[in-house]
Structure 1
Amino acid sequence: MPSSPIRRLLGRGLLVTVSLLPLPLPLPLPLPLPLQAGSYDRPGDNPHQSRSVVVARHGMVCTSHPLAADVGLDVLKSGGNAADAAIAVNAMLGVVEPMSCGIGGDLFVIYWDNKTQKLYGLNASGRSPGNLTREVFRQKSLAQIPESGPLSWSVPGCVDGWETFRQRFGSQPLAQLLAPSIKAADEGFPVPEVIAGYWKSGEKSLAPWPDSRRVFLPHGTAPREGDVARLPELAATYGLIAKHGPDAFYKGPIAAEIVRFSEAHGGYFSLSDFADHTSEWVEPVSTNYRGYDVWELPPNGQGIAALQMLNLLQGYDLKAWGPGHPEYLHRFLEAKKLAFADRARFYADPAFSPAPVKELLSPAYADRQRMRIDPARAALNVPAGDPKLVHGDTIYLSVVDKDRNCCSMIQSLYYGFGSQVVPGNVGFPLQNRGALFSLDENHPNRLEPKKRPFHTIIPAMVTRNGKPWLCFGVMGGDMQPQGHVQILVNLIDFGMNLQAAGDAPRVRHSGSATPTGEPMAADGGTVYVESGITDEAVRVLQSRGHQVQRGSAGSYGGYQGILIDSARGMLQGATESRKDGAALGY
């Protein structure tokens, strides 16, 4: 037993190390000393925060897998910039999280170039096959586009997006950026907990397709947590792109293999669909929320839905209510319904049906739309507004480098493993983004040849006084605009730190009208809430007519963010606990 002087030191809270000679067991073990209540609590009032904010001076990478974040950090340390690191991270994510992203999907970027002091937007989404028309579905007696299989395909834009982005802002060769991913795919990589769960959930849908089964279920089942997975065919495909550039994908053997498979399995791809593909530089759009300029990309994505929601919420004193308060949650949910009604009516490929973006984002339109929110009752029927009356399963990654170039990049296959189909020996699945077209001939988002479908994936950035302040995104289909708004309200209105803002419990509304032509659910849809939302808040929402359920953790997206603290020359990074991710800096 420690002597009485040592006990007195322990009683004063000092750490004491004592060496004892070996003694025969059993020893009488002292009772543990009582701890002062709360002595190991985190500072501040963030009860849901899972870990500390990561702080670094020079560069930061935040994404949903530690191996991918580590690759990006290596690029930054070797002299690469944020654009280089983002491409390398995305390539690695296509290996280690293949159900969520990959070169069979599309890509969007918002980039702050510190040299020109300007934001740039890149739309690297692909278009529908030139031979695929609505008549095909009428002949097949299909009322909607299938969510899997070759009829859901559109041309993948990711690889062209990498090269378009790299040529304008990158500094390192594509082959160098792909090298770590080629090695990981060939030699193998350990599968972490959350991704193992995603992989497991794809077993049934992958199994009917022999190439998908061979690539992702080589032993008949998905790899378990801690197993080492290998993707040698993907390594070979990456190798072709590294050696020959994007032409290998769009004009060479990769396109040829995809088209061969498409023709053999009822698809409509042609070689010209790939050869004609191009990405597009676009101007980001913004709204000012309480002194912060929030930036999104214009349609064919859904980013402006987040801006519309912020415009509506700006008319309320959310800070007075606080996080999780039913008054805040009710108004958030009603704002979401209004924004998504406009989303269903107006968002589409601007080359075919330009949306009235300026009018949708105007303060006057928000003021008029806000009058439609009943503070005491949930809306069950929410038609789109009329802005013409106003005049005037995805990955996300964030990178900031030493020069304060900032990259907000999101890339996806849409569903987990996209269309579920690996076409031949390419080693990756093709996206099912074509399932988001409408077959209604009067809908702006109707299927037409060589048209970009409505997109759910949206990167975001926030500037303050003309300088980047926050580079962030939230994964998860329709959850993405809802997640963007909840993160920003947590940061700006409720004063949470960067990590707590992502870990705080969220709500998600489903059942709004969709860009595929489905109307809003007759009962107003369902509100899913995480466990941190109190029972009392749930009761209040239910009393106002909301259909509320406690949902699973996988339903609420996945957030990564980097905050640029210009005053102190520091970067803050966060990645939420719902994913396997990491925020790494140096």
Structure 2
Amino acid sequence: MTEISFQSRRSTVYSTKGVVASSQPAATAAGVKILELGGNCVDAAIAVSACLCVLEPASTGIGGDCFALYYEQKSNKVHGLNGSGRSASSATVDATLESLKNKDALRIPWNSIHAVTVPGAIAGWIDSIEAWGSGKVGLDQILAPAIDLAKNGFVVHEVSANIWKSCESKLKLQNPNLKANPFLNENGQAPKEGDLFFNPGIASVLELVVKHGKKGFYEGSVAEAVIKTTSSRGHNLSLEDLKSHTSSIVEPISIDFEKHRVWEIAPNGQGLVALLALGMLQELQNEGVVDIYSHKVNSVEYLHLLIELCKLGFYDSDEYVSDPDFGEAPLSDLLHKSYLQERSHLYSASKILDSETITHGVPNPINKSDTVYFTVADKNGDACSFINSVYEGFGSAVVVPEFGFCLQNRGANFNLTKGSKNALEGGKRPYHTIIPSMITNVNDNSLYAAFGNMGGYMQPVGHVQHVLNMTVFGMTPQQSVDTPRFCLCSDPTGLDRGRGADGPVSTPVTVVALEDGIPEEVAEGLRKLGHTVKSVSGNGRGLFGRAQIIKNIGKDGKIVYAAGSDPRGDGAAVPII
């Protein structure tokens, strides 16, 4: 194992009966409770998700979206669910530009009501339970912990309080009437660490969902309140848009890397970025251009290699990631050995990619953003990798006052360039940053790990780092989440290309953010290669997201899990006993 320098507040957690890892202790406890009641990893994951919507409203909520991967031990198969919502069915680029009063706009601003898309989370929860749940616990039991926390109160933890505080001005801007804003007090202040907080509105929504299922959210009083809120601000979202919403059970996509198979959700998720980067790295390794095993984690050479391959992955994803219902991406071609080999040859160890000339590849001539992630593994050997988000802090920050939740602003991930793959259209799902991941063993497709890394465009970059940390450098889950990370960002001073999403390659310069713990001499070495680098410490470390990992280390048919939970969050990994 390559030696690295990091400080850990925690040790890896081990269990033979199951484990839950999330960013909030009470949410983790809810998952543990459902497993103890006889539920499986999917049942527990939904309980965790619901609790996090209450406990971390700046990061997630019932007004957001979700994605899930489910590993089924008896079949050694990975299943997927896309629980993302769509734009208003009547949305058009022209009408949006007119409403924005800016005919030259390339994207929908985060604070525009037109950034609101249909919330997909509630439907995703119920569809996950119906597809893969144990059948041994009911929806009433699964949602009971979240209802109790919302109705009877919970204590706000440190990291959540810091994120909440950073969103005060946003919440006030979007909701000037503080009496109708449950997330701030009468003085416009967020709760502090240690404060007791109540949200009876969300409790009432979840009670309606228990009673009526998906109709409790997508029809009736909740749906009417959502449309009342959006219509009053000039949005054309309709009751029919909510009523007709559906999740999609999907086939995950994967790539083989060093005797392991890495799994991601297919587009409209951005997991393709991670797979492309790992696939190109594998080709460079096969050809002897690099020897990843000889690299030192977070050295100049190591970071330059991953930065460049992730950038190439983002360029391709900007071109090909969008709603598959509006045109399938050529995934088999993009992940084919010959294409990955061709793209990997653009890598240079001595300089950065020329951002003025580099663009997406053409694999076949016929083909021209704050989140919560958590993972659960159960006594059956099954695992669920789950992610739920409202996109940016509190999403749009537009509150549905009758029910105490914010609507997501995922539509800000569309572009307004007509004819581009990810351009806004009616009833379309946008490019999505939230991505759960899994790793299986190539020889028998047995579970290796369920993991994820929150944080907008940090997510696929984080996935690449965690895959290498564990499969190449032999780190435990806790060591992997503790290790300082890098992130790729767009240049806020640069001109937007107006393609894909507003990610790291949307501007001519891609900024490399290095977390505190990566030496300054490494930053300077990257600058000498041509990278634009910034170092990030303190509360700014939220840029690098919060990761959770459960790894299967059992042998001879025995279940043994090792789990790690990110010290950048409030939560923990907790075993079943």
Query: TM-score normalised to the size of structure 1?
Result: 0.90
In 2, distance between residues paired with 1:187 and 1:518?
Answer: 40
Q: Deviations over 1:239-260 (max 9, x none)?
A: 1111221101112211011112
Amino acid at match of 1:583: A
Which of 10, 16, 19 in structure 2 is aligned with 1:60?
A: 19
Contact 1:471 1:563 (C-alpha < 8 Å) held by counterparts: yes
* Structure showing greater Rg: 1
Q: Deviations over 1:86-143 (max 9, x none)?
A: 0100000000001111110111000012243321100011111112211212323331
Deviation (angstroms), 1:213:
5.7
Aligned match of 1:511: 490
Within 5 Å, give how 1:200-219 maps onto structure 2. Answer: 200-208=165-173, 209=175, 210=177, 214-219=181-186
Aligned match of 1:573: 563
Deviation (angstroms), 1:63:
0.6
Aligned match of 1:92: 51
Deviation (angstroms), 1:232:
1.2
Contact 1:154 1:432 (C-alpha < 8 Å) held by counterparts: yes
In 2, distance between residues paired with 1:322 and 1:398?
Answer: 29
SS of the residue corresponding to residue 123 of structure 1 reads strand
Amino acid at match of 2:294: A
Amino acid at match of 1:174: L
Q: Deviations over 1:335-359 (max 9, x none)?
A: 0111101111111001102111111
Deviation (angstroms), 1:212:
8.4
Mapped pair 1:277 → 2:262: no
Mapped pair 1:233 → 2:208: no
Which of 423, 432, 439 in structure 2 is aligned with 1:446?
A: 423
- Pair 1:520–1:584, CA change in 2 (3 A): closer
Mapped pair 1:169 → 2:132: yes
Mapped pair 1:151 → 2:132: no
Amino acid at match of 1:52: S
Within 5 Å, give how 1:281-430 maps onto structure 2. Answer: 281-314=249-282, 315=284, 316-381=290-355, 382-388=358-364, 393-430=370-407
Mapped pair 1:199 → 2:158: no
Deviation (angstroms), 1:317:
1.3
Unaligned 5+ residue runs, structure 2?
A: 285-289, 492-496
SS of the residue corresponding to residue 379 of structure 1 reads coil
In 2, distance between residues paired with 1:116 and 1:394?
Answer: 30
Which of 125, 142, 146 in structure 1 is aligned with 2:84?
A: 125
Amino acid at match of 2:202: L
Contact 1:258 1:424 (C-alpha < 8 Å) held by counterparts: no
Unaligned 5+ residue runs, structure 1?
A: 1-43
- Pair 1:543–1:390, CA change in 2 (3 A): farther
Contact 1:50 1:577 (C-alpha < 8 Å) held by counterparts: yes
In 2, distance between residues paired with 1:212 and 1:177?
Answer: 31
The more displaced of 415-424 and 514-523 is: 514-523
Which of 172, 178, 195 in structure 1 is aligned with 2:143?
A: 178
Deviation (angstroms), 1:362:
1.3
- Pair 1:573–1:517, CA change in 2 (3 A): closer
RMSD of aligned alpha carbons: 1.8
Aligned match of 2:35: 76
The more displaced of 233-242 and 334-343 is: 233-242
Q: Deviations over 1:543-583 (max 9, x none)?
A: 11111110231111110010012215211111111111110
Mapped pair 1:564 → 2:564: no
SS of the residue corresponding to residue 325 of structure 2 reads coil
In 1, distance between residues paired with 2:475 and 2:338?
Answer: 30
Amino acid at match of 1:395: V
Amino acid at match of 2:565: T
- Pair 1:233–1:79, CA change in 2 (3 A): same
Deviation (angstroms), 1:278:
0.6
Contact 2:268 2:431 (C-alpha < 8 Å) held by counterparts: yes
Q: Deviations over 1:413-454 (max 9, x none)?
A: 000100111123121101001111111111111111111111
In 1, distance between residues paired with 2:4 and 2:116?
Answer: 47
Mapped pair 1:537 → 2:522: yes
In 2, distance between residues paired with 1:303 and 1:222?
Answer: 34
Amino acid at match of 2:306: F
Amino acid at match of 2:224: A
In 1, distance between residues paired with 2:546 and 2:337?
Answer: 30
The more displaced of 264-273 and 91-100 is: 264-273
Contact 1:463 1:469 (C-alpha < 8 Å) held by counterparts: yes
Amino acid at match of 1:470: A
Amino acid at match of 1:228: L
In 2, distance between residues paired with 1:366 and 1:301?
Answer: 20
Mapped pair 1:435 → 2:412: yes
Which of 224, 236, 244 in structure 1 is aligned with 2:212?
A: 244
In 1, distance between residues paired with 2:372 and 2:293?
Answer: 31
The more displaced of 378-387 and 496-505 is: 378-387
Which of 437, 456, 473 in structure 2 is aligned with 1:494?
A: 473
Deviation (angstroms), 1:53:
0.1
Amino acid at match of 2:521: E
The more displaced of 564-573 and 519-528 is: 519-528
Contact 1:64 1:581 (C-alpha < 8 Å) held by counterparts: yes
Deviation (angstroms), 1:380:
3.4
Within 5 Å, give how 1:34-45 maps onto structure 2. Answer: none
The more displaced of 226-235 and 520-529 is: 520-529
SS of the residue corresponding to residue 540 of structure 1 reads helix
In 1, distance between residues paired with 2:379 and 2:226?
Answer: 40
The more displaced of 527-536 and 348-357 is: 527-536
- Pair 1:411–1:212, CA change in 2 (3 A): farther
Q: Deviations over 1:298-332 (max 9, x none)?
A: 10000011000111222231220120111111111
Query: TM-score normalised to the size of structure 2?
Result: 0.91
The more displaced of 282-291 and 45-54 is: 45-54
Within 5 Å, give how 1:449-464 maps onto structure 2. Answer: 449-464=426-441
Aligned match of 1:40: none
Aligned match of 2:64: 105
Q: Deviations over 1:340-385 (max 9, x none)?
A: 0111111100110211111111121111111111210112312111
How many residue pairs get aligned? The number is 542
Contact 1:94 1:102 (C-alpha < 8 Å) held by counterparts: yes
In 2, distance between residues paired with 1:425 and 1:211?
Answer: 13
SS of the residue corresponding to residue 130 of structure 1 reads coil
Contact 2:311 2:504 (C-alpha < 8 Å) held by counterparts: no
SS of the residue corresponding to residue 440 of structure 1 reads coil
In 1, distance between residues paired with 2:380 and 2:274?
Answer: 29
Contact 1:365 1:390 (C-alpha < 8 Å) held by counterparts: no
Which of 550, 555, 561 in structure 1 is aligned with 2:543?
A: 555
In 1, distance between residues paired with 2:223 and 2:56?
Answer: 23
Amino acid at match of 2:403: V
Deviation (angstroms), 1:409:
0.5
Mapped pair 1:583 → 2:542: no
Aligned match of 2:494: none
In 1, distance between residues paired with 2:515 and 2:487?
Answer: 9
In 2, distance between residues paired with 1:575 and 1:421?
Answer: 31
In 1, distance between residues paired with 2:475 and 2:80?
Answer: 28
The more displaced of 542-551 and 113-122 is: 113-122
Q: Deviations over 1:9-58 (max 9, x none)?
A: xxxxxxxxxxxxxxxxxxxxxxxxxxxxxxxxxxx866433311001110
SS of the residue corresponding to residue 80 of structure 2 reads strand
Q: Deviations over 1:269-307 (max 9, x none)?
A: 111001111111110110011000000011000001100
Deviation (angstroms), 1:153:
0.8
The more displaced of 331-340 and 45-54 is: 45-54
Mapped pair 1:527 → 2:515: no
